[in-house]
A and B are shown apart, each in its own frame.
Chain A
């Protein structure tokens, strides 16, 4: 059972069940807990071990026991997402915890990942249960529908769910007063039907800024 303790701490009440969480994100617990490092093995080829361009990997632990376990990561804001059979796409560095029953995998995100400097693979979470995703500042959840497509800065994107297609949009030109070329900035355009999570902050991207 996931619940928020304030906006930056995830409390999970456990009665013998388990939760998967970002390694090292446990800040406190009461009761009895056992910790297990998860390798990619039982989780499909890649599992939650996310490949990043940097070669860095995010590791995951499984926590099980009786009591309450509190998770937090660098004072990030935490957003709860409940999944009912649909799929959540989330930047791997933004995934804090999931119910042990949810399937996690990776999906190839191609250009967006590349332009974001954030890895070519995005984590996917599927099934029925709860996930906790992190954002720098509270996330704003924006609905995309047929009549309202949405354009997002790649650095502010953290996750999406639903039936969405994404495309790249450039054409944002900067020409400065001095006549210097300002380069182009990429944006991601989402169309279809679903939800997009954006954070009030921008990671550094190589896509340029608007």
Chain B
């Protein structure tokens, strides 16, 4: 075997690649030993070994999908990798990290989730644009910059929120100084004075962990699929993906409607 000095600090082969761990901050290596992983399409960059990639909907996978996948439209964005070997996952040079859940639950922005083990169940969150993973197993997620873990109580810029674990759902928080008072009234009347850009946050209270990333640059949109149009179901307007909320509904900057639109929901 020839040797290439200076060809970067590390040369990997199937023996030296890690198993279910990061190769570097931006690349994650999954080892398949006859096992399966769910992958978001377009995130596999290279692999050694024998692997099949099948769209969800492939007949043989029906059973698997029934137990692990609960997001109907979203399914077209996912494939199941099975076989044996080592495969590298990455996403537009964003930071990637794996997370282990043990009889737990974690809710994550849909565009940030790259891959997960079928021992976890993937469900749509009742917060539009987010997915919830439940059970025991490993998943891989991307973020712009390393993920920072914070404890509630905390207020978070909607765009910096990656997800949360074990917390009650976030609620909206509006800066009172912006909403009311002389300044607010003046702004509302004249449109002068501008906004600080921080009038609205997601607020988390209670026990749990909040995951943050450093950016207003959101990850690519990833539809979670529509939810049934039923009374009482948030987001259940039955509107096709990509449609903004109904016009005419007054909205503050940064309110969920904008978020939904940004995510093509």
Contact = CB atoms under 8 A, between A and B. Distances in A.
Interface stretch (A9-17, A105-113, A176-184): A176-184
A210 B6 contact: no
A-side binding surface: helix, strand, loop or mixed? strand
A19 interface: no
B253 to A, nearest CB: 29
B232 interface: no
A178 B55 CA distance: 11
Interface in A150-186: 150-153, 155-156, 161-163, 172-180, 182, 185
B54 interface: yes
A178 B8 contact: no
Contacts of B120: none
A82 B13 contact: no
A136 B92 contact: yes
A201 interface: yes
B75 interface: yes
Interface residues of A, number: 51
Contact of B92 (A142, A177, A201): A201
Given A136-B93, A182-B76, A193-B1, A210 B7 contact: no
A22 to B, nearest CB: 19
A201 B93 contact: yes
Interface string B35-55: 000010110111110001111
A179 B45 contact: no
Contacts of A156: 45-46, 90
Nearest to A146: B1
A200 B4 contact: no
B42 A210 contact: yes
Nearest to A81: B7
B259 to A, nearest CB: 25
B1 A209 contact: no
A35 interface: no
A203 to B, nearest CB: 10
Contact of A175 (B27, B55, B92): B55
Interface string B1-42: 110111110111110000000011111000000000001011
Contacts of B24: 138, 140, 200
B23 to A, nearest CB: 6
A81 B13 contact: no
A177 B65 CA distance: 10
A175 B92 CA distance: 25
Contact of A177 (B23, B75, B93): B75
A73 to B, nearest CB: 14
Interface in B35-93: 39, 41-42, 44-48, 52-58, 65, 72, 75-76, 79, 88, 90-93
A188 B25 CA distance: 25
Contact of B13 (A86, A142, A202, A209): A142
B7 A200 contact: no
A86 B55 CA distance: 41
Given A84-B5, A130-B6, A210-B44, A200 B90 contact: yes
A193 B46 contact: no
Nearest to B40: A209
B240 to A, nearest CB: 14
Nearest to B92: A201
Contacts of A149: 48
Contacts of B23: 140
24 contacts: A79-B8, A81-B4, A81-B6, A84-B5, A136-B92, A137-B92, A138-B26, A140-B24, A140-B27, A141-B8, A142-B12, A143-B12, A148-B13, A150-B48, A151-B47, A151-B48, A175-B55, A176-B56, A177-B56, A195-B11, A200-B24, A200-B90, A201-B91, A210-B79
Interface of A: 77, 79-82, 84, 86, 130, 136-143, 145, 148-153, 155-156, 161-163, 172-180, 182, 185, 193-202, 209-210
Q: Name the 6 nearest CB pairs between A and B, nearest first.
A: A137-B93, A200-B90, A209-B42, A82-B6, A174-B55, A156-B45
Interface of B: 1-2, 4-8, 10-14, 23-27, 39, 41-42, 44-48, 52-58, 65, 72, 75-76, 79, 88, 90-93, 96
